[in-house]
Amino acid sequence: MRPAHPREQAVGMEYYVSDADGVGGRLRDEDERFRVRELERFSTEPVDASTDAYPHLVVRATLSGWDTNDFASRLSDALGVSRERVDWAGTKDKYAVTTQLFSIYGADPEDLPDVDGADIEVVGRAGRSLEFGDLAGNAFELVVSEPERPDQATEITAELASFAGTDDPDKDGTTIGVPNFFGQQRFGSRRPVTHEVGLAIVRGDWEGAVMAYLGNPTAAEPDGTREARGFVEETRDWQQALEEFPHRLRYERSMLHELAECDGDPDSETFRAALERLPSNLQRLFVHAAQSYAFNLMLSERLERGLPFDSPVEGDVVCFADTDAPEGLALPDTDRLQRVDDRRVRSVTRHCERGRAFVTAPLVGTETDLADGEQGEIEREVLADLDLEPADFDLPGEFHSNGTRRAILVRTDLDLDRDPLRLSFALPKGSYATVVAREYLKVDPIDLG
């Protein structure tokens, strides 16, 4: 175990679990070198099914250079419908080739536009929209550009196999494990502030949430953007800030329009209204990022205490495997939870060894029950340090969260090619490819994309 990069520590990922030096290099030199394909789990009817019973058109889009939110906006604009009529199961990265499903309420195949950088295939119709999480997982193929120490991949793989509890590093296609951290993208790769926005929301500080999003200039941004963020922090001149903020920052500009329309100084309700100008999925993302930050801190503390990730200790809460998951993909079912007392440690350990159960930590919300024992101590200490408690997540509208639990370890069968250095693997929904890749590269997370 070795300390992580400072940018990763800032979002709660305080360690690498592999001690070996990284291979170096970078990801995403070209979109084609970072490929993501959804492992689909959503039922559809034929495209000629009744539009009364099945009003949602389902399409499979292969995108290059498109952020999921941006593509959804482009699609809705071209169709002349509300952006809220376009839904998807998982948010994908802009700098990649991604294949995923979208559902569009009230659309017909002949209405679909031609979009540069998008190959759109009609799948069928559905009686409901896609919802976040309507997938089993994702398959990844990552090519490392210009690795400095490619031979290190073998030693790293051996260490990650040991962490997974599967010591079989003699072949490239072995099972590895990593802490199921939320990756840098959850918080913003170049400007990690979404958790700061979320923490302010959960604490009821709507003004602080808005300013965390509008302000907070970072060195990784263009000069004009940094200057605009600095201007709004310094002046709170919302109308002039509209002149300063580049038009491509449309979410920030939408918030500024709400604030500029206010007579006098905005009150708390006005700041909240500014946040509610954003798409509903982005509103939810802020609170999710706060939960994710707390989760990362809990995993880092568990690592520091030397507690296992592949088996439970007394007081842990485990979940069981989803029996309907695709073959070869271990998918946790966090609706099936069990608290581990001293009588159950041995039997639950056997379930974990066989991939039938997973130790969890909370994504804290109003219905969260914290663990007992040493893991419970970790959870309570992290929440106390953040000045949070489950009741704080009883929030209005899209900001409310009941909470859930999440597996702390993710295992995957890794295929490792040498020339070029390529990592191929599949992860359950919600797990991050860069959390695997960071163990191999050990670079500034900006170089992970």
Dihedral (Cα; 284, 286, 287, 289), 10-degree rounding:
120
CATH superfamily of 282-407: TruD, catalytic domain (3.30.2350.20)
Looking at residue 263, what is its pLDDT?
79
Looking at residue 165, what is its pLDDT?
85
Question: Which residue type occupies 433?
Answer: A
Where are the CATH 1.10.1510.30 domain residues in the chain? 194-278
* Whether residue 89 has pLDDT greater than 80: yes
Least confident of 111-125, 163-177, 304-318, 391-405: 163-177
Looking at residue 280, what is its pLDDT?
86
Where are the CATH 3.30.70.3160 domain residues in the chain? 42-133
* Whether residue 171 has pLDDT greater than 80: no
Alpha-carbon separation of residue 83 from 38, 78, 278 (angstroms): 22, 10, 11
* Whether residue 173 has pLDDT greater than 60: no
Average pLDDT of the residues in 125-141: 93
* Whether residue 323 has pLDDT greater than 60: yes
| Given 29, 70, 87, 93, the catalytic residue | 93
Q: Token pair for residue 333? A: 């079912």
Of 3, 380, 448, 386, the closest CA to residue 185 belongs to 448
* Whether residue 172 has pLDDT greater than 60: no
22 in Cβ contact with 442 (< 8 Å) = yes
Q: How far apart are CA 418 and CA 422, in angstroms?
A: 7
* Whether residue 169 has pLDDT greater than 50: no
pLDDT tier for residue 411 given thresholds of 50, 70 and 90: very high
Alpha-carbon separation of residue 91 from 88, 102, 247, 423 (angstroms): 8, 11, 23, 21
Architecture of domain 42-133 in this structure: 2-Layer Sandwich (3.30)
310 in Cβ contact with 425 (< 8 Å) = no
Q: How far apart are CA 202 and CA 53, in angstroms?
A: 39
**Mean of the per-residue pLDDT values of the chain:** 93
Looking at residue 406, what is its pLDDT?
96
* Whether residue 199 has pLDDT greater than 60: yes
Tally the C-alpha atoms within 13 A of residue 48's C-alpha that lie toward its C-beta. 0
Beta-carbon count within 10 A of 356 CB: 14
Dihedral (Cα; 190, 194, 200, 201), 10-degree rounding:
160
Q: Is 361 or 174 the better-scoring residue by pLDDT?
A: 361
Q: How far apart are CA 281 and CA 205, in angstroms?
A: 20
Contacts for 217-224: CB closer than 8 Å, 24+ residues apart = 218/190, 218/191, 220/190, 220/191, 220/446, 221/190, 221/191, 222/246
Q: What is the CA radius of gyration of the chain?
A: 22
Query: How do residues 353-408 score in pLDDT, each as one tens digit?
Result: 888 999 999 999 999 999 999 999 999 999 999 999 999 999 998 999 999 999 99
pLDDT tier for residue 167 given thresholds of 50, 70 and 90: very low
Q: How far apart are CA 32 and CA 223, in angstroms?
A: 29
CATH of domain 194-278: 1.10.1510.30
Q: What percent of the chain has pLDDT over 70?
A: 98
Q: Token pair for residue 78? A: 């071209």
Q: Token pair for residue 377? A: 């101590």
pLDDT tier for residue 417 given thresholds of 50, 70 and 90: very high
* Whether residue 84 has pLDDT greater than 70: yes
Where are the CATH 3.30.2350.20 domain residues in the chain? 282-407
* Whether residue 43 has pLDDT greater than 90: yes
- Three-state DSSP class for residue 349: helix
Q: How far apart are CA 143 and CA 389, in angstroms?
A: 41
Q: Please, where are the H alpha helices in 80-169?
A: 152-164
Beta-carbon count within 10 A of 250 CB: 13
Tally the C-alpha atoms within 13 A of residue 381's C-alpha that lie toward its C-beta. 13
Q: How far apart are CA 147 and CA 152, in angstroms?
A: 10
Beta-carbon count within 10 A of 198 CB: 27
| Predicted structure pTM score | 0.89
pLDDT tier for residue 120 given thresholds of 50, 70 and 90: very high
Is residue 93 flagged as an active site residue?
yes
156 in Cβ contact with 137 (< 8 Å) = no
Q: Is 92 or 300 the better-scoring residue by pLDDT?
A: 300
Axis-axis angle for helices 250-260, 206-214 (nearest 10): 130
Q: How far apart are CA 58 and CA 125, in angstroms?
A: 5
39 in Cβ contact with 139 (< 8 Å) = yes
251 in Cβ contact with 269 (< 8 Å) = no
Residue given tokens 């990022």 in the structure block: 289
Q: Please, where are the H alpha helices in 59-183?
A: 68-79, 152-164
Q: Token pair for residue 437? A: 């890749």
Beta-carbon count within 10 A of 116 CB: 8
Query: How do residues 433-442 score in pLDDT, each as one tens digit?
Result: 999 999 999 9
* Whether residue 168 has pLDDT greater than 70: no
Of 124, 93, 88, 91, the closest CA to residue 107 belongs to 124
Q: Token pair for residue 35? A: 């490929």
Q: What percent of the chain has pLDDT over 90?
A: 83
Q: Is 449 or 90 the better-scoring residue by pLDDT?
A: 90
Tally the C-alpha atoms within 13 A of residue 94's C-alpha that lie toward its C-beta. 10
* Whether residue 95 has pLDDT greater than 90: no
Q: How far apart are CA 236 and CA 262, in angstroms?
A: 12
